[in-house]
Chains A and B, each alone.
Chain A
Amino acid sequence: MRRRLGESYALRWERRRYIARGRWKRRELTPVVDRASGIGQRDILVFSTVRNEIASLPHFVDHYRRIGVGHFLFVDNGSTDGTGDWLASQPDVSLWRTDARYGASRCGADWMNGLLHRHGHGHWTLTADADELLVYPYCDCRPLAALCDWLDAGGVRAMGAMLLDLYPRGAIDETDDRSDILAGAGWFDSANYVISVNPRYRNLWIQGGPRMRTFFADEPRRAPALNKIPLVRWDRSYAYVASTHALLPRGLNHVYARDGGERTCGVLLHAKFTGRFAGRARDEAARAEHFDGAREYRRYVEVRAGPVLWTPQSVRYEGWRQLERLGLMSAGSWA
């Protein structure tokens, strides 16, 4: 009992530290276009940190506009490919720029926490990278607001959406367009995931998929985490721990059922493995700003350029109903 009290006390201070860090690190962000005053009371907001993502951003913004996102809040971390200009020209985007180190902001988590603290309070917020596209139950016929209202009605404050790595049929280098991947050229592992509960934050820790079997076969413990909790009804007292894998207070991480039932959840389609991937992996490995000294990217470079992730057992992505049938996603009690 005393240990549990001690732990929750420690977690409370950890959370305060993240919030304070977020607010402190916000000073590194220079507003380029701040249209946040135009945010409506019920708008759903997207938060994202980007770097040289001009190739995927139009698709990203379009996807979220289509499901009814009201406003985008971007941090541009030193892009040199016109990302900033393109974003600034979008009417529903607020943009901050920073040349500070990504790693020093705990892979962008501090910047995101800072912006969420300032602009997210009371809104449904979605925190996603430029190559992560949310699909959720009925996303082909119901807007995101319908989902958020349903979660609200049940007193649910956060929804999980695991990362699902999509890869092309051939070698990674031969696919050059991200929209191809979603339009039917994307394949995935349907049942190759390992799950355990993280005892500290009580979130699920999910690993697996093509990245683990291809790049981390020798040290599976280091394979990237695929669990994410991107959709949160934000409150000033919340904070992301690292990326969007876990939140504090840790009650928010309880997005899964432990009694054998299923909870409503989504999937973040991860269109990471496209033709630009090899070049990106080399850049990021050299820059070493990502998690664990960009170990993940170093592995990709070591494994050799242009690996084939596809296998005869891969499944072609067709839509959310397929993901639900395969058990990767669930509508829970939403019907």
Chain B
Amino acid sequence: MTAARPGIAMLVHAHLHRTAALADHWCAQGCPVAIHVDRRVPPAEIAALRGALRHPELVRFAPRHVCEWGTFSLVAATNGAVATLLSAFPFVTHVLLSSGACLPLRPADALAAYLDNRPDTDFIQSVACEDVSWAIGGLNEERFTLRFPFSWKRQRRLFDGYVDLQRRVGFARGVPAEVTPHLGSQWWCLTRQTLTAILNAPERGRIDRYFRRVWIPDESYYQSLARRHGRNIVSRSLTFARFDGDGRPFVLYDDHMAALRARPEFLARKAWHGADALFDAFVGPEAGKARADAQAATGAGLAPDTLDTRFDAADARRRHGRPGLYAQHRFPRRSYRRDRSHGPYGILIGYSAAFEDFDAWYARACAAAGATGHGRLFHPQRAEFESAGPTGPGGLPTRAGLRDYDPRAFLTSLLWSAGGRPQVFLMEMGDPAAILDFVRRDPNARLSILVGAWLLPLLASGLPFNRLRKTAARMQRKETRLLHQLEDSRVPRQARLTAIPLADLLAEPEGALRAAALIAPQDLVKPPRLRAAGELRAAVEKLRNSGIEVPSAGLPAIDPTAWQVSKPGPAQSGR
């Protein structure tokens, strides 16, 4: 068995000083290089490249094409470079396709030894596209059956429109019998036999003509033909390359160095051309020394998937973002399903009115439930945060005017600052309720409402009947409006809502406490006392006779014994 001698086919179009260094790097280790330089590169730069090469005897320049992403020109360029390499260096057994942004992570010897141990093997990621959709968010099988006369980068609308039109009229080109559509990474390492078979196949002219009209043929030409001509295919690339959700390659920078050293692949892309430290560390005569240190560093527990984790996180950030964050870079459309708050929160409506010395119990219950218990955040005068001080968490204002300027931003900022710790706050009838429009369709919200609780302090206040009557009318209007707001049927409510009628509250005050959103305690130690309101029924009767209906009292007009069982739903209470 002859020892494997890999040769490098390199496609470059810019930053040729990196190309020279890379070519030197491979040549110094005995690997010949065939370089394809984009035809648009000015002659002066190519002359400089030729001049900079330290091993020109091992370098050949392939016939030049103007390369445009997504077109056959890249395949033509690659074919030219491969043919040049194979004919100029008969000892080459494998060709590794790379670019001016592919960093060699391991020495050529290691690569040769690896290939030696797996004779006659082609390393090319090649995924049957009828089975798996490999491409990210793009076309798969349709790459092989539609026509693509327009540039995706420059004529996107025409491109998309034409694809759409072909789909609608059911257009499909025939795929040649020799081709079984496969897709995969461009960066492969194929054996001389396979490449020769591909390049010298009698039907190549026809195949090439077909692939000229295939979309991104450099991700399918070799991938499909290797399946036909290769003997032993390992569907995996020797080059580490990752793409983001938009199909753009992730770029490698100096700060990726440690993670790159832990990668098991032989090459990695796509290195930023300005990443001096990366090129210094991996390319050139000093690379070997750095690598020895690196092996030691690798032992220091750096997981090889560090880069994957990082890229996955970046992709998730771009696609889904952090829920509940409203910022200069993330501002979801209103009523969009990701338009919601960051963490759980509960709103207790009517509780501080219904109970005497509620605060002490409330603080204890919040502490027991691991929640932050704010006061009346939407108090008409000022936001009552849990912590005293001139501002709330994150610098939120306590001034009502600033809070009510954008109550939604106020609440979502508070929840974002809380970082997922449950937040609970109190609300009373008469607090600005605009925020409930957002709350009701926010799945993180839990509301507990003691319907009609405002009657208790009002009746206990000893106000002259005339003023009491007016206040009752006003409060009842507000409550009706609020309950309507919560039950608005146009947009489905996502918040969880518990409404407890006054009758139930009077019958079993502990039940109301147990229903308190998010902080519902298992056992009630020292529960707060219900506010004594005198003879409620008589008072409500008197109000009614003076012309003020108080449906939220939940007291039926006729049956005096029914008030434990009657539960007017929130929808009925608004009349």
Q: Chain A residues with Cβ under 8 A from B275's Cβ?
A: 146
Contact (Cβ within 8 A) B413 A141: no
Given A153-B248, A335-B314, CB of A256 within 8 Å of CB of B331: yes
Cα separation A213 to B391 with both chains bound (whole Å): 9
Q: Does B430 contact A (CB under 8 A)?
A: no
Known A190-B417, A257-B321, A262-B330; further 7 A-B contacts with Cβ < 8 A: A138-B255, A161-B328, A191-B395, A191-B413, A213-B402, A257-B330, A333-B246
Q: Chain A residues with Cβ under 8 A from B405's Cβ?
A: 194, 220-221
Interface-located stretch among A26-34, A92-100, A309-317: A309-317
Closest to B318 in A: A333
Q: Does A217 contact B (CB under 8 A)?
A: yes
Contact (Cβ within 8 A) B397 A262: no
Contact (Cβ within 8 A) A265 B329: yes
Q: Does B320 contact A (CB under 8 A)?
A: yes
Q: Does B325 contact A (CB under 8 A)?
A: yes
Q: Does A206 contact B (CB under 8 A)?
A: yes
Cα separation A329 to B327 with both chains bound (whole Å): 8
CB distance from A171 to the nearest CB of B (A): 14
Q: Does B390 contact A (CB under 8 A)?
A: yes
Given A330-B317, A332-B318, CB of A190 within 8 Å of CB of B395: yes
Q: Chain B residues with Cβ under 8 A from A217's Cβ?
A: 397, 399, 401-402
- A to B contact number (C-beta, < 8 Å): 186
Cα separation A192 to B398 with both chains bound (whole Å): 11
Contact (Cβ within 8 A) B394 A261: no
| 8 Å CB interface, A297-335 against B | 311-314, 327-335
Residues of B that sit less than 8 Å from A by CB: 153, 244-246, 248, 250-251, 253-255, 272-275, 310-311, 313-315, 317-323, 325-333, 336-339, 387, 389-397, 399, 401-402, 405-406, 409-410, 413-414, 416-417
Contact (Cβ within 8 A) A327 B401: no
Q: Chain B residues with Cβ under 8 A from A260's Cβ?
A: 320-321, 323, 330, 332, 336-339
Contact (Cβ within 8 A) A333 B244: yes
A sample of 13 inter-chain contacts (CB < 8 A) reads: A143-B274, A146-B251, A146-B253, A192-B395, A192-B396, A193-B327, A194-B409, A195-B331, A257-B330, A262-B325, A263-B329, A330-B321, A330-B330
Closest to B330 in A: A262
Contact (Cβ within 8 A) B255 A261: no
Select the residue from B246, B336, B391, B417 with max chain A CB neighbours within 10 A. B391
CB distance from A70 to the nearest CB of B (A): 13
CB distance from B6 to the nearest CB of A (A): 29
CB distance from B160 to the nearest CB of A (A): 15
Q: Chain A residues with Cβ under 8 A from B318's Cβ?
A: 257, 261-263, 332-333
Closest to A332 in B: B318
Contact (Cβ within 8 A) B327 A195: yes
Query: B333 is contacted by which of A142, A255, A258, A335 (Cβ under 8 Å)?
Result: A258
Report, nearest first, the 7 A-B pairs whose CB atoms are least far apart: A191-B394, A189-B395, A260-B338, A335-B314, A333-B318, A192-B395, A194-B406
